[in-house]
Chains A and B, each alone.
Chain A
């Protein structure tokens, strides 16, 4: 079965650089979520989109922005990177009617290392 696809899987950036992460949700899933997981930490919600509109916002820094495109894929743009941004970034997707208890599926994650 198709899963959530994230790219790149690994990237290394220097401080103050910019990075872009991409996420391709499971087909027919119209809701996308982004989470950040620091080393040894629990995942923290960043932002979510439904039908290309922002649906919820968590602890996403102002240096970060995200959007969902017409084909439902999403991109997380991170600028002025800091050492503390080094983390595993997950994208997840679900059908809109997650209120009924549909599973939220996570991708394999993108490892960002800021040096």
Chain B
């Protein structure tokens, strides 16, 4: 069974600062997704990471994947208030699986 651990679960940071969210998972996964969720809203896709060493960037967010370490990171650069949300990582167990296994989420609050 695939287990996913995200940390931190809560993150309060000042605008302009940098920080990294970590996502560890327990078994082999061939792809990993990052989602953003505002309270009571849908899950917005941020990144899909497919291979070891994959790095993707969009605006102030950059995600990476290390399949050997079973680790993905979401790096926030020069945070702004609009980035306040809950961020989920979700690896998929392996080929043939359709399940996203979500972490507990990291609730990010960016303080002006």
Contacts and interface: CB of A to CB of B under 8 A. Distances in A.
> For chain B, what secondary structure do more than half of its interface residues adopt (helix, strand, loop), or is it mixed?
loop
Contact of B98 (A44, A98, A100, A101): A98
Given A88-B40, A106-B43, A107-B42, A45 B48 contact: no
Given A88-B40, A104-B45, A106-B42, A42 B99 contact: no
B52 interface: no
Contacts of B101: 45
Contact of B97 (A42, A56, A90, A100): A56
Contact of A45 (B31, B45, B50, B99): B99
A103 B42 contact: no
Contact of A42 (B33, B49, B50, B104): B104
B31 A101 contact: yes
A105 interface: yes
A45 B43 contact: no
Interface residues of A, number: 27
A56 B42 contact: no
B88 interface: yes
B111 interface: no
A47 to B, nearest CB: 9
A35 B35 CA distance: 14
Contacts of A74: none
A109 B42 contact: yes
B103 to A, nearest CB: 6
A31 interface: yes
A108 interface: yes
B2 to A, nearest CB: 11
Nearest to B40: A88
Interface of B: 30-31, 33, 35, 40-45, 48-50, 88, 95, 97-105
28 contacts: A42-B105, A43-B43, A43-B100, A43-B102, A45-B100, A45-B101, A48-B99, A50-B98, A55-B98, A56-B98, A58-B99, A92-B43, A99-B30, A99-B95, A100-B50, A101-B31, A101-B48, A101-B49, A101-B50, A103-B45, A103-B48, A104-B45, A104-B100, A106-B42, A106-B44, A106-B45, A108-B42, A109-B41
